[in-house]
Amino acid sequence: MTKRGEPLPINQALNRATSQTRVGPQRMDGIIFVCVTVFLVGLRVVAMIALSVACHVSAWLIVPQQQPEDVRALGLECLSQRSLL
């Protein structure tokens, strides 16, 4: 029996780090934050690229490539120009 307020002797294994790599909770929080941030930014970049490709492909399919007079009839002259100069 110990006196009141005196810590009890406990298993010393409980005082060790929880893993073999000895990564503390603060460092683990940082690692998780960086992983989640990189994942979300990567998804955003993939979404922007996918939207851009989808818009270009759909415009290429919608606008006729061989009949420039049809493009003028649709009012899409800017899409049939070779350069903006």
Residue 44: the pLDDT is 95
Residue 20: the pLDDT is 64
Whether the per-residue pLDDT at 16 is higher than 70: the answer is no
Q: Could you give the dihedral angle defined by the CA atoms of residues 56, 61, 63 and 69, in that order, rounded to the nearest 10 degrees?
A: 150
Whether the per-residue pLDDT at 10 is higher than 60: the answer is yes
Chain centre distance of CA 28: 20
- Which one-letter DSSP state was computed for residue 52? H
Q: Give the mean pLDDT of the chain.
A: 75
Sign of CA dihedral 77, 80, 84, 53: positive
